Structure 1
Amino acid sequence: MPSRDTVSRTALDDVYESMLDNVKVQIKTDVAGHAAITFDIWSDKYRHLNYITLTLHYLTTDFELKSFTLCTKLIEGKKTGEKIQAILLDIKECFDLQEKVLHSVTDAGSNVKRAISLAALDSHLCLGHGLHNLIVKTVRYRLPELERAAEKEQIEFLHSLERVSEHLEMDENEPIIDDEGSEFNSVSGLQTSDEFCNMNHVPSIKTSSPTRWHSMLAMLESLAHFCNRNPVNRMLSQISQHDLKIYQQEWNLLEDLIRFLREFREVVEMLSTQKTASLNLALVFHLEIRDILNSLSDEETLIMLTLKNNMLAKLDKRFPITDKIVVAALLDPRFINLSQIDTYLEQKNTTRAAFLAEYIKIHISGESTTMATLAPAVITSFSNDSVLSKLSKKHSCSGTSSILTSTECNEADQECWMYLAAANACDVKDDDILNYWQNKKKTFPLLSELARIMLAIPATSTPSERVFSIAGLTVTVKRSRLSPVRVNKIIFINDNYTLCKKTQF
């Protein structure tokens, strides 16, 4: 019976090599010309080594979305663009991707931009990073601006929450007892919403992470729970931080902020999906976020109004509308009639069909130039109770608009006109846009190939970021001396096992 050391040293290498060969075969078989690549940099918390993780995403001819973790490599010294580019070139050679068109999805770091430029990759901003910066940098790092626009007592609670999270280390198994011996002292006259009084789930106090806006929301939600309010203030009194105590007006403002941030959670979760297409959802979510930031109520506080205005001013920078986003929306029948598409195409002096046809000509070669004459048609309405269908109705143009403005076209133009004329959101069953295009391959061969390219591009680089969690379970305090080579092999096996198992590697 071999020891665990023998198994870990020999079996790990054998499994890794076997899976690596399997992944290479799948990529070579499935990827014809285009694929998407995401990468992000992270550090282990024990030795503080910098790693970069790269993932590949593509749609097969049957519109099955596949995602592989290609590697997790150590970056020694400074994380320069040149070093990242060298890793990209190594990976392209390792997986025979030199002749493929790679669409990268990354953050906006200067070193990342440099690497993409050097590697001559087609690039798209990670919308997850954009939303994170939109929220976090406005809420946490723009406090001086808010202070000038809002009353001082309304602002100080944001400072307080940050300092509370730094000082508070409460053991939830040892509740704080007040002077009368009760665990929680009720506050007379406290007006707390029912959503913050769930006695079946009393969260422990969370702290925030500067790289995860979700953690800030989790921290605020844990602090705002009714059962935690008195213990928080008592703890602050015990450590002589009386000036940090949170009062009723501040609790009310905290509740407003939590409700506001919760509206972003569903958007981020749907954009960060790894199981289906997500870039086609970006435009409708951009419009919904803009609508959230423009919405006002009679009870809106000055600080919340200032917060929304600051975020609205940065929305187009953090969450830009690009050609790829518009093309992806046009390839989803549910979103063809979004009002923002008209605005965007008017600025480019083009039409929906011409815009799609141009992308076909750029990314797909070999279309012929036969001529055809088509009759005008309009987009068909639909009825569906899903979240996406409701958002589509909300942000679509009112009434019906003519699709056709020209009567003569080549094959690409003809197919685009036919698609736009026949597009019906009811054909997208169970919000499965990939199944829709699988069924339309024969009807719209050029557009289905374009959809195969564009819908494989994830809206965010979350697939690379998810590796951070696996890495946290891999590089533990007991295994902090793992070599970078073994870290790469362990993560590679963990992430790719399911897809490789299907092919019986």
Structure 2
Amino acid sequence: MSSRSCDLVDDIYLISADNPHSISNFFSNNEQNHSNSISVAASCDSNSASTRTRNDSNSPASARGDSSFTTTRALNDSNSSSSDHYTAEQLKNYLFKKNPNYRLLKNDSTKSLSAWWRAFGFIFNLNENKEFEQIPGFISCLKCFQTFRYGFKSGTKHFVEHANKCFPLATKIADVAGTNELKCSQWKLEQVGVQRKMQLTPKDQHQLKELCAKWVCCDMRPFTIVEDDGLQRLANMFIKIGSQYGLVDAKNVIPSRHTVGRAVHEIADQIRDKIKEELIEPLRAKAVTIAPDFWQSKYSQQSYLGLNITYVDINNKFKSIDLFCRPFNGIKSYDLILDFLNIHLAEFGISLTDVNIITDRGANFLKAFAKYDLICCFGHRLNNVLKVCFFYQQTKKKKKNNQASSKDNTCSTAKSTPPTNSARVEKDELSSSSDSSLSDDEENQRENYVTEQSSLVILRRRKKSSTTQSAQKMVVEDIPPEAKQVLLVLKQAKKLVKYVKLTGMNQEIKDNGGVTLLQATAVRWLSLSNLLESLIKSFKIVRKLLFDKEKQSLITDLNLQCLKQLCLILKPFKQIMISVQTGNSPSLYLVSMFYITLKDILQSFDTVKEYINEHIEDIDGHDSLFNIDKDDDLEHELPGIKWFRERLLTLVNEMIVLDVRQVAATLLHPRYRSLKKVPDHVKDQCYKHVRQQVWQFREKAEAEQENQKNLSEPPQKKQKKEKNMLSRFESGNFSEETVDRTGSGDESDEYDYQIKKGDELDRYLLFEFDKSKKEAEPLEFWKNHSDKFPFLSQYARSILSIPATTTNVEREFSSAGFILNERRTSLQSNKLDEMLLIRSVEKQLH
């Protein structure tokens, strides 16, 4: 590569010697400090990315991560034949004159891209099939439409210069001492904390690139390590030290591993103290939710109980923290779970009576939290609906029985051998509490247990009928032939994907313009939908490769029309699961609306297509997978697909029982407070529940106020009152009489209190506000109107702190698995707990 100079913007900012100062920003209420830290990190990341040349994200092969663009790999100038039909000036004129046959789309790759990509996009033209196809070998400016040739040998210097011209960085601080040239003299202390634009010499630039390349290769680090925010902040700290002390040896600056380990422990302790202090007020308002779950390391076979908390602080800010992930030894029984949680939660001043609880439907968790108002994960329930629909449990049992019988035939002593825990280990690795592998009978027992024992108002009680029993207990042998054909297609698709993975064909598929085929795993949400989508996108390429390998038998029985229609049915489930998995904002209010949406969508095949056209299409006006309106395979619903769609609708009605708090969360979102499409009797139960909670908050506030009054004032001596036989004729307060006269119409049939007409809930339902403003967001709304609705806003804080799913704790386990990899099996368990805690706090801070 030719040596050349480039602009390097060094982001230098003060870092306190006691690093925990940055941690305190997470728990402080100073939003200015928080926004400044984010902007500094963002500018550092973007500026450093602009100086790196020809890294992985600059290469055409990885410039776009979107699998729908299958021609991205053919961007080399010398190898692209279609690019010879155009010149850069021609394409610029087409775009500038807004020719309808040409489009310019921004690079929407999910991979990390260099900063100069902010100014450029790819060019597409309308092909013979009336579909937009990428023109390889060119990129154009999104602002002025200046077009450049782009390939493996094009370089990036002119891209960086043009990006800085049309899309200058948002924040640039004036150069120190009015010059851009590098100075060898030491900086003054007042100069530290500003950005300084410098021009590296070709020699320094080349040396820097070589050091990074050798570091990545020799220490076996990923290429993306040079883009880590932590590395950027560490490098800025080194620059600050060099500016103050001159040329120093890095060995004298970088602490040892033991020192870093002790620092991790100290920082974790400081964070725990700050969390305990910050949780005092949210716990009093019951605006804290815990999500416990089990996880097991596949290398050490050690089980862990992890717990994530979500809470709404006193400023109505939603926060999520991975509180702990600690070893759990012994049987995962409900009593041991309770003892474990009580011990470790006490460290943070948390009692189970002061928090909301959300878990999956594991029998041990259900029994452990039976006396608490437990709420179950909506994502797990949807996943169970899909597994029951496609008979996953029955096929899994059948497979296990076949394996067991074969073992009995080959080894007569197998009966006397104690069963191993290998099956349990495999299950617990991703789904802890046996929710994913229980029988239908156990599912029904758990649901009935919750329904009968819970103190919550249940919106619907399932009626026992032959229809209900047959839907969930139906066996594969009883389904019609057209439905069996769909199951055979699914089985063959899984077999094909497994073969592709074992033989390493995925790379060949990608080289020919396809996408990687993804496997389906029962304990992972959305995996079946991802398998179908990847197979449909690469179907023609896979078929050609298999024919070349004389393995066409793997794909000849696959019905592409059946795959497309099945994928279409699963698309709404995929969109809903993705939507409810948000972890850093309220999501419980989505559950009731998505439940009603699913029931409406599954009514017919046309409603499914209509919903996808309106809500899941790409911004270009056509679905990236297939064109619903023009695809003949989607015109008429296959009989087998119709049977499974109707079965899905039945299972959604039977298996999903909404919690009243899920409807109350929707009610307390100002945008959806009218509860449209919710039945009237459900609204009435929700209103009663909310009024009861408001009344409890009011009673609690009055009791606290009375206690404060008694503590501040000495009790007055009671005087004996004279009995007056005419006292019943005396006049009272006018307001009390008005309440007595008008209160009969608002008396609660369920609770021993009266609801005044025009209470907080009524006034909230009639309140007018501008939906276009930011205050339409629920937490912002209740923060701005807490004076108008003092007790309703407190309950809103509590209910909106509950997430719709246990996704946060699942993500904690994903991070734990990344930390405890094959090379770090000897890491102490307390260090894992501390690292996850620090990471969750720092991730939100930066």
TM-score between the two structures when normalised by the length of structure 2: 0.48
Distance 1:319 1:222, change over 3 A: same
Alignment size in residue pairs: 443
Distance 1:296 1:174 in 2: 36
Distance 1:255 1:50 in 2: 40
Displacement of 1:441: 0.6
Q: Deviations over 1:95-120 (max 9, x none)?
A: 11127521111000111112213xx4
Q: Do structure 1's residue 6 and structure 2's residue 351 form an aligned pair?
A: no
Aligned partner of 2:692 in structure 1 is 358
Contact kept? 2:293, 2:305, Cα under 8 Å: yes
Distance 1:45 1:467, change over 3 A: same
Displacement of 1:235: 4.3
Displacement of 1:454: 0.6
Distance 1:425 1:296 in 2: 37
Distance 2:826 2:784 in 1: 51
Code of the aligned partner of 1:245: I
Q: 1:149 aligns with which of 472, 475, 480?
A: 480
Distance 1:444 1:430, change over 3 A: closer
Aligned partner of 1:435 in structure 2 is 780
Partner-residue secondary structure (3-state), 1:253: helix
Distance 1:93 1:64 in 2: 24
Contact kept? 2:580, 2:805, Cα under 8 Å: yes
Aligned partner of 1:171 in structure 2 is 504
Distance 2:770 2:666 in 1: 12
Distance 2:543 2:582 in 1: 36
Aligned partner of 1:231 in structure 2 is 542
Contact kept? 2:670, 2:781, Cα under 8 Å: no
Displacement of 1:329: 1.6
Q: Deviations over 1:363-405 (max 9, x none)?
A: 553477976989xxxxxxxxxxxxxxxxxxxxxxxxxxxxxx7
Distance 1:362 1:317 in 2: 33
Aligned partner of 1:139 in structure 2 is 390
Contact kept? 1:41, 1:50, Cα under 8 Å: yes
Contact kept? 1:367, 1:411, Cα under 8 Å: no
Contact kept? 1:55, 1:71, Cα under 8 Å: yes
Contact kept? 1:147, 1:155, Cα under 8 Å: no
Aligned partner of 1:295 in structure 2 is 604
TM-score between the two structures when normalised by the length of structure 1: 0.78
Partner-residue secondary structure (3-state), 1:40: strand
- Structure 1 unmatched runs, 5+: 178-182, 185-198, 375-404
Distance 1:301 1:364 in 2: 57
Aligned partner of 1:55 in structure 2 is 308
Partner-residue secondary structure (3-state), 1:92: helix
Aligned partner of 1:284 in structure 2 is 593
Distance 1:287 1:174, change over 3 A: closer
Which structure ranks higher in relative contact order (CA pairs < 8 Å, sequence separation ≥ 6)?
Answer: 1
Distance 2:496 2:637 in 1: 26
Partner-residue secondary structure (3-state), 1:278: coil
What percentage of residue pairs aligned between the two structures are identical? Answer: 22
Aligned partner of 2:381 in structure 1 is 130
Q: 2:834 aligns with which of 482, 489, 497?
A: 489
Q: Do structure 1's residue 470 and structure 2's residue 815 form an aligned pair?
A: yes
Displacement of 1:443: 0.9
Displacement of 1:478: 0.4
Aligned partner of 1:385 in structure 2 is none
Contact kept? 2:327, 2:829, Cα under 8 Å: yes
Which deviates the most, 5-14 or 360-369?
360-369
Contact kept? 1:364, 1:446, Cα under 8 Å: yes
Code of the aligned partner of 1:125: C
Q: Do structure 1's residue 307 and structure 2's residue 644 form an aligned pair?
A: yes
Partner-residue secondary structure (3-state), 1:478: coil
Aligned partner of 1:192 in structure 2 is none
Distance 1:353 1:6, change over 3 A: closer
Spell out the pairing of 1:63-462 with structure 2 (5 A cutoff): 63-98=316-351, 101-117=354-370, 120-139=371-390, 141=392, 145=476, 148-151=479-482, 152-169=484-501, 170-171=503-504, 175=508, 202-225=514-537, 227-231=538-542, 234-235=545-546, 238=549, 242=553, 244-247=554-557, 250-297=559-606, 299-345=636-682, 350=684, 353-362=687-696, 364-366=698-700, 406=746, 410=755, 414-422=759-767, 426=771, 429=774, 432-462=777-807
Distance 1:317 1:372 in 2: 49
Partner-residue secondary structure (3-state), 1:434: helix
Code of the aligned partner of 2:764: Y
Distance 1:482 1:423 in 2: 56
Distance 1:333 1:30, change over 3 A: closer
Contact kept? 2:486, 2:641, Cα under 8 Å: no
Distance 1:477 1:351 in 2: 53
Distance 1:115 1:360, change over 3 A: same
Distance 1:236 1:157, change over 3 A: farther
Distance 1:428 1:411 in 2: 31
Aligned partner of 2:277 in structure 1 is 25
Distance 1:427 1:373, change over 3 A: farther
Partner-residue secondary structure (3-state), 1:73: strand
Code of the aligned partner of 1:448: S
Distance 1:373 1:367 in 2: 24
Distance 1:407 1:127, change over 3 A: closer
Partner-residue secondary structure (3-state), 2:578: helix
Distance 1:312 1:372, change over 3 A: farther
Distance 2:598 2:552 in 1: 37
Code of the aligned partner of 2:838: I
Code of the aligned partner of 2:487: I
Displacement of 1:279: 1.0
Contact kept? 1:415, 1:447, Cα under 8 Å: yes
Contact kept? 2:310, 2:321, Cα under 8 Å: yes
Displacement of 1:423: 5.4
- Structure 2 unmatched runs, 5+: 1-251, 396-474, 607-634, 703-732, 740-744, 749-753
Q: Deviations over 1:281-329 (max 9, x none)?
A: 2111111111122233371222222222222222145432121112112
Partner-residue secondary structure (3-state), 1:294: coil
Displacement of 1:230: 4.2
Displacement of 1:412: 9.1
**RMSD value, Cα:** 3.3
Distance 2:650 2:506 in 1: 45
Distance 1:241 1:148 in 2: 29
Distance 1:236 1:327, change over 3 A: farther
Q: Do structure 1's residue 46 and structure 2's residue 299 form an aligned pair?
A: yes
